[in-house]
Every structure is written in structure tokens, then in C-alpha cells.
Chain A
Amino acid sequence: MASPGTGAALSAVIDIAALAEQLRQVTVEVTDGGELLGSGVLWPPGFVVTNAHVVRRREVALRLVDGRLVHARVPARDPDADLALLGVPGTGLPSATPAEPGSVRIGSFVAAVGHPLGVRGALTTGIVCAMGPIDRSGRAWIQADLRLAPGNSGGPLADAAGHVVGVNSRAAGPLALAVPMDQVEHFVRDARV
């Protein structure tokens, strides 16, 4: 249950650096071995979730936060949902904590970590602008008032607790579009069967 707003939050300690660090631990670089293709999120157990448009091949190389380069197969890919699942067993790294589906509200603080324009582990912050379709296609997005750039694709959009609420997919002008958590979980569940 959400606590009532007091307007006094700014006087409290706001540790965005800790949030950034927490998210960097679960964000990977998706590469073709050399070139950066996008970002990805370490997903329990032993997977990476990214965008379908980031991985258009059967195998990619992932650079982990500790610098290790590991190869990953692409067992599942759904261009309509713009999601792909990569298998990376035994990295020893912690996985992201998915937020409860539907836990974000309009106005909630959100943060994105990724590698926009090749800048490793860059953080951008904003709020949830709206949720739902942006066009006649009818597909639902988390629309965030937050800056994304090429290289952010496939990276995490997280709430104030660092729990992942969506997978960043693309920018629509100044608006960030992320695949909502319920679609991500649905995709992962189906892909693993």
C-alpha cells in the first residue's frame, strides 16, 4: 500500500547513487563480440532478458559488469513483444528483482540503466508519464518521462527500490517506452517451457 505523500521527501536522504549501483550489477552489455548492440537484464535463474531488436542472431556475446565476456545462445525471441531471452548459466552474479506487476503508478519515480551511445552503465531518471498504448496498435507500454538513447534498448527500467518494472525498448521523441513487467514475465514463462 502506498504511503500518503507528505511533500517532505526532499529533506530525507535520497540515495540515487546506490540505486544506480544496484542496477548496474544486473545490467549487461549485449555485443556481437565487438560492436555494442544494446543492453540486457540478468533474469532469474540464469537468463538475460533483452529486446528482440537488439539480438537478430542465434548467438551473442555479453559483457558482464565485472568485465567478463560470455557467449549466450538466443533460445527465444518475440519481435511483436520486442523481447528476447538469452541463456547464460552460472555467471555467479545476482539477478534483477522483478517488481510486482502493476506496482507502478503514474508519477512514480523510475530509473533506467544501460549503455546509451556506448556510455557504459549510464543512469537516467524520470517518472512514469502514462501507461497504455501510444497508437492504434493497441499494445501497452510503460511511458516514462525519461531520456533514452540507442544502446539503452533491452536495459532495465526500475522503481525507487531498484525493482525492475519494465524493459526499455525505444524512445518516442522525449518519451521512453518500456515493455511492462506483466508482458516480460509472460514472455519468460512461455519461453522456458
Chain B
Amino acid sequence: MDGLQSLSNDLAAAVERGGRAVFKVAGRPRLASTGVHWRQGLVVTADHTVHADEDVTITGPDGRALTARVAGRDPTIDIAVLKVDAPGVPVADVADSQEVRVGHIVLALGAGPRASWGVVSSIGEGRRARGPAPELLHLDLTLYPGFSGGPLVDTQGRVVGINTSGASRHWHLAIPAAAVDRLVDELMRRGHIPRAYLGVSTQPVRLPEPLRQRHGLDQQTAVIVVEVQSGSPAAAAGLSIGDVIVSLGANRITDPTDLKATLRPERVGESITASVLRGGEPKELQVTVGERPRRG
């Protein structure tokens, strides 16, 4: 039984190691969530668990209560980044989430510490989830109350993602560490997390079979532009009311949610090709993703 004993020791050691960078986040009434000290002074958690932007009480692994504020949010992947002065609390050992494979044993950590285990059951788009995002980790494990925002760690205690039960009603998911890294990079580069913006309102539309066949489209639906805001990136690119957007960059657009999911914060400033049907004929437009003006 030595193998089992050493697996058991590995798992407990992984919890201990991963738990050193775990915070309890009191960002909503009643149920506290979990956060991870991602980089010095920056704690990552699940966006849906932090209601206010200021005076968020977070408690470190040493039991010290600290006051944090929201430095940026990306509701599309359910991530919030908190700024806090946390000297003495180690930052998480973040692994390359690209190396995670279906079947890998993983542990979900909650503040406390608490832990659950299971396997990665699939990796891919969160298509029917509330905020679809690419490359989500679907988990065959239990996220207990308060686990949202906590780290998903491998058997060595290295963080491979951030757990959330908020992104989907049916799946327990983790946002891969690489996506969190990109977001934190944006925050550090710009000082805030931008909200990407095109300046169009759209509605889903069914693509008639003859049209699909003529243009070799394998999607059943797309979105039709019903409003173009003046002075917006969409207006500058020449998008008009009635244009049917089929894809944006490499992403197929089958409904307005796809459009939102494509507009990741890190794409602000990027020029992408919008494939549209105008009067039934294909047309390509270059659109530069803008940044939604910030309130206040």
C-alpha cells in the first residue's frame, strides 16, 4: 500500500503548498469565497463573489484580516482582481495550464483550508455557459460552498486555474491560469482591466439554408446589427444596420453571447476582421476593438 500512502502524502502536501497563497474573501453577504495571491499585492477571485469595489475584507492564511479593493474585473470569465498590501504572504506557484490534460488529478482549495479532489473531465469552450470563454477546464469534482475563486491545483500544489461555480449551472469550471495571467498582465500594463467595445447592438438571426450553402457556412445562426453607435469602432469600420456578422477574427458568431465572449479585455486596440453578409453577399471589414469609456 506504499503507492497509496505516497499518493495520500502528495495530496496533503499539495493542499499545504497551494494553501499558503489562499485568502478568504468576504465580498458578499453571508458566504465568503476564496482568493489566490497571484502576484505580489494582487489577489484573484471569482467576480460574482465580490459585490462592492471598495473595503473588501480578506483574510490571509496566517489569519490576518486585510482590506482590499477591486483593481479590475472581467465578468465574461468571472474573474476579479483585488489590490491589497499583503507583505509576508507568499504568492502562488502558478503552473503552465497548457500542460493540463483530461484525466489529470486536481484539487480544489477553499479558504480554511479545505479541499476536494477529482479529475479534469474536459477542456474546451464553455459554449453554453453563462459567460462563454475559450479553453475552460471542466471538472469532475465538488466545489463546496465558498470554493468559488479558489485555486485549482495539481498534485504538486501548483495553481492551474481559478474555480468557479458561477459561470455555469451545470458544470464546475476552472478558468485556466493562462487566461488569468493574461488578465493580470493587462491590469499591470494599463492600470485597469479595459472593457472591450465595438459599439453595435445585435440580435440573433437564422441563416437561410440556400445562403449557407452558397457561402459554405456550417453555422445555423449569426447576429444581425440593429444599431451602430456613432463615433464607435463599428461605425469607423463601416458596419451598418442590417449587416449580418458571421465571424469575428477566428471566432464564429452564432449569437450575441459569442460576440461578447470574443471581446476579451486583451483585444482592446487589436484590429480584427469581421466577416459579414450585406445584402446576402460576403464582405470583410477591419474593425479596431475599442475600449468602453469608464464610468467616473
Contact = CB atoms under 8 A, between A and B. Distances in A.
Given A5-B156, A106-B115, A126-B117, A160 B4 contact: yes
B105 interface: yes
B10 A6 contact: yes
Contacts of A16: 4
Interface in A135-150: 143, 145
A128 interface: yes
B209 interface: no
A159 B114 CA distance: 17
Given A5-B157, A129-B116, A130-B113, A108 B11 contact: yes
A107 B7 contact: no
A14 B115 CA distance: 21
Interface size of A as a range = 20 to 34
Contacts of A128: 12, 115
Contacts of A18: 1
A193 interface: no
A20 to B, nearest CB: 11
B154 A7 contact: yes
Given A106-B114, A128-B115, A15 B14 contact: no
A19 interface: yes
Given A128-B115, A129-B115, A162 B10 contact: no
A10 B116 CA distance: 18
B90 interface: no
B157 A10 contact: no
A4 B10 CA distance: 7
B142 A159 contact: no
Nearest to A172: B144
A3 B113 contact: no
B11 A12 contact: no
A3 B7 CA distance: 10
Nearest to B3: A12
B118 to A, nearest CB: 8
A13 B6 CA distance: 10
A174 interface: yes
B98 interface: no
Contacts of A108: 8-9, 11-12
A105 B16 contact: yes
Contact of A129 (B1, B5, B8, B114): B114
A108 B8 CA distance: 5
Contacts of A127: 11, 107, 115-117
B226 interface: no
Contacts of B154: 7
Contact of A19 (B4, B112, B116): B4
- Most chain B beta-carbon neighbours within 10 Å: one of A9, A162, A175: A9
Interface string B121-140: 00000000000000000000
Given A108-B11, A109-B8, A127-B11, A9 B113 contact: no
**Interface core residue of B1, B2, B19 (most chain A CB under 10 Å):** B1
27 contacts: A2-B12, A4-B9, A5-B10, A5-B14, A5-B17, A7-B154, A8-B6, A9-B155, A14-B7, A15-B1, A105-B12, A106-B12, A106-B112, A106-B113, A107-B11, A107-B15, A107-B16, A108-B11, A108-B12, A126-B117, A127-B107, A128-B115, A130-B114, A145-B115, A145-B141, A160-B8, A175-B144
Interface of B: 1-17, 19, 105, 107, 112-117, 141-142, 144, 154-157
Given A5-B10, A12-B6, A107-B15, 17 more contacts: A2-B13, A5-B14, A6-B10, A7-B156, A9-B4, A16-B4, A106-B15, A106-B16, A107-B13, A127-B107, A129-B115, A145-B116, A145-B142, A159-B8, A160-B7, A161-B5, A174-B144
Q: Which 4 A-B pairs have the closest CB atoms?
A: A5-B13, A107-B15, A12-B3, A5-B10
